[in-house]
Chain A
Amino acid sequence: MTATTTTTAPADTSTQAPSAPTRIYIFKGFERFWHWAQALLIMVMALTGFEIHGTYALFGFEDAVFLHTTTAWVLIGLWVFAIFWHLTTGEWRHYIPTLDKLMAVAKFYAFGIFKGEHHPYKPTQQRKHNPLQLLAYLGFKLAMAPAIWISGLLYLYYNDWAAWGLGWLELWMIALVHTAAAFALLIFLVGHVYLTTTGHTPFAHIKAMITGWEELED
């Protein structure tokens, strides 16, 4: 499928140099595994978490707690690997925030996308995320994830607070932060899933996250 798109380019791009790449390898193997494993874990955690919160009954409280706690530890393990991977491969540089083209991208999503304009940002292997996307992921990694994890770990180790010098904490505070962060993540998820459909075809971005190859817009 990808092979055909690279060879049979549409007519109006034929003026471009034939050597210009029409697709780049943008998501490496580990990154794709990390992404989809995390997606699955986060969905299980959301499903079980809101059951523990009392929003509905699905697995039963006891099993929900077990699943929620188990997936939490698996996700933490996954993140330890992910952080290690980002640091050792230098991939962390993709998350250095930038203002360059930020307004252009924002304008694109607000107006240009309806007019059939091209995306103002072209991903490269050095910069795979557009500046707006990058900020959103950075927010996820530096704000939402730590909020939900730190509150979640404190939730788990409720009985050790006093020993950790956190005796002033009360469970409702932790529950509040944990629940608020969970909702924030859910809202993030809705936006995230929608934005995957804004490639040059609705499934272009999702395909890239599966195969690793991003097809470049012409």
Chain B
Amino acid sequence: MEAKKLCKFLKTPATSARKILAAVIGMVLIFGAGPLMAKSDTATGQVKTSTADHGQFESLQKEFTSGPDVTKACLECHTEAAKQVHKTKHWTWEYKNEDTGQLLGKRNVINNFCISTQSNIGSCSSCHAGYGWKDDSYDFTVEENVDCLVCHDTTGVYDKKRLDAGKTSNLDKIAQSVGRTSRTTCGACHFKGGGGKAVKHGDLDPSFDAPDTFIDVHMDADGLNFSCSTCHTTDAHMVSGSRYASKARDVGGIDVPGKSDGSRATCVSCHGDRPMKNEKLNDHTDRVACQTCHIPHFARGDYASKMWWDWSTAGKMDANGKPYSEFDQAGNEIYNSKKGDFVWQRDVVPEYRWFNGSVLYTLPSDKFDPEKVVEINRFLGDANDPKALIWPIKLMRGKQPYDVVNKTLAIPHTTGEDGYWKKFNWQDALTKGMAAADLPYSGEYGFVETNMSWAMAHMVAPAKESLNCIDCHAQDGRLSSIEGIYIPGRDSFPWLDYGAIAMLILTALGVGGHGALRFFFNRRNSHVK
């Protein structure tokens, strides 16, 4: 039927232009409109399939004067949106870990990058999904303070800092172009965690705006072109896949409607737990996270990641008494008077840990032994824990201030006109910081070495780049520090090996001696004869 119509159409006299057009349309239909459409917006990792054109909505046809002004317009239709956002960590910056009882989230934890949001929230909140968080008096119930645009901008022009500084004039254009989140919108904060591009995560950096297949096989802009939300499935603004409540081992298999937990933020959600052709490789998935073999290195993109941050060397001035910076040949800042020394690395081999999804933090109130390296966030789980797998991590190391008497990590007030970055006075900064956080400070500070673990889940390499057997099945392999399991090629029983080799040598000597005696006596016997 269709074919007949097509023949008739081709036979009818028509201009060659019409025929060419028809052919082109036909080709497109046959050879995949899908890929072409999917590539329509590769830079943002977004496929435009919305049924609504926000440019036609009357509520958005006006001059907006502020961010909250836009949000009010959004809420006219999306009545529940702000209430939903208010429940998320993107808004509260707080998370209660029911396993450990710890109150976590950006508001409460300490890290070994910029150390703490407490007393510095005015600057840190540039990555808060809301407007106007300057200090502790912030009202978390105000709906119009939710920043819709930071996640839903599709123009790439929206800039929270510029907006705060009153430098954004095209809010109406931005508002009329809203759409789904994209790698770029998520990346506005998550690619720059720790105060700059590629600083914090190691497996997330601005390479992901338009990654190639070598950086990540799923997000490859010319290939599958996944957005963040393709895996971090979201319901009622609640984004799945949190590092505060990680699902280190997904035993649920492939997620299908009806049996799914609604989250695709694990490899197993799509691939199952035995996805490889080689069954022996599949046998590993009860102990080894997919990421361990398939993220062989991190910081594989265009950026080095920060691996060491030594706050103890901060405060040096140049010849003119002014703060200064030093850069390495690759252009990475290796010293900054405000922050101390840095070490950056690319193509980094991860470290490996047992991880059951739960993390125990050293919170500002927790005491520690300053003689040892302080583990700011210890990954829990071991070989006997059925929820734990061996995971690759970025281990961020550095030195940071602590209270020598109370033996607790110390919070400096770094930002603002009266912070360390302007005054370069640790005593002053720590006194203000600890007071703002309502924590005791003895007045004596020192610097303690700390480390922090960041689970690797992005920068999934092409299969041929994944680890080989020998990378772990060797005595000095990647898993040399993993305890509690027997790894062939890494482990052995030395008493058995040495004992057995000794017996082998004795046997060889025995038969050798026996043979020598035979030879000797045979010759003598034949002489006698």
Contact = CB atoms under 8 A, between A and B. Distances in A.
Q: Do A and B come from one complex?
A: yes
B327 to A, nearest CB: 42
A83 interface: no
Contacts of B492: 53-54, 179
B276 interface: no
Interface stretch (A31-39, A90-98, A142-150, A167-175): A167-175
Interface string A134-176: 0000000000000000000000001100000000001110011
Contact of A61 (B282, B473, B491): B473
Contact of B504 (A65, A113, A159, A183): A183
Interface residues of A, number: 34
Contacts of B286: 159
Nearest to B473: A61
A61 B496 contact: no
A115 B504 contact: no
A2 interface: no
A190 B491 contact: no
A18 interface: no
B123 interface: no
Interface in B504-529: 504, 507-508, 511, 514-515, 517-518, 521-522, 525
A191 interface: yes
Contact of A171 (B485, B497, B508, B511): B485
B491 A62 contact: no
A52 B488 contact: yes
Contacts of A57: 470
Contact of B496 (A65, A180, A190, A194): A180
B504 to A, nearest CB: 6
B521 A191 contact: no
Given A54-B475, A114-B518, A194 B511 contact: yes
Contact of B489 (A52, A159, A195, A198): A52
A141 B521 CA distance: 34
B508 A175 contact: no
A184 B496 CA distance: 11
B497 to A, nearest CB: 8
Contacts of A113: 518
B488 A194 contact: no
A124 interface: no
Interface string B100-119: 00000000000000000000
Chain B, interface size category, equals: 20 to 34
A65 B468 CA distance: 12
Contacts of B22: none
A6 interface: no
Interface string B468-500: 111001110000000001101111110011001
A29 interface: no
B489 A190 contact: no
B508 A158 contact: no
A172 B469 contact: no
A55 B473 CA distance: 12
A5 interface: no
Contact of A194 (B475, B486, B504, B515): B515
Contacts of A115: 521, 525
B514 A194 contact: yes
B523 to A, nearest CB: 11
A10 interface: no
A32 to B, nearest CB: 24
B521 A183 contact: no
B515 A116 contact: no
B280 interface: yes
Interface string A9-21: 0000000000000
B10 interface: no
A125 interface: no
A40 B514 CA distance: 26
A208 to B, nearest CB: 19
A36 to B, nearest CB: 21
Interface string B277-301: 0001011001000000000000000
Given A54-B473, A61-B473, A62-B470, 15 more contacts: A52-B473, A55-B497, A57-B470, A60-B470, A61-B470, A61-B489, A115-B521, A158-B283, A175-B486, A179-B497, A180-B496, A190-B508, A190-B511, A191-B507, A198-B518
Interface of A: 52-55, 57, 60-62, 65, 69, 109, 113-116, 158-159, 170-172, 175-176, 179-180, 183-184, 186-187, 190-191, 194-195, 197-198
Among all A-B residue pairs, the 10 with the closest Cβ atoms? A183-B500, A194-B511, A172-B486, A114-B521, A61-B469, A171-B486, A116-B525, A54-B489, A61-B470, A62-B469
Interface of B: 280, 282-283, 286, 468-470, 473-475, 485-486, 488-493, 496-497, 500-501, 503-504, 507-508, 511, 514-515, 517-518, 521-522, 525
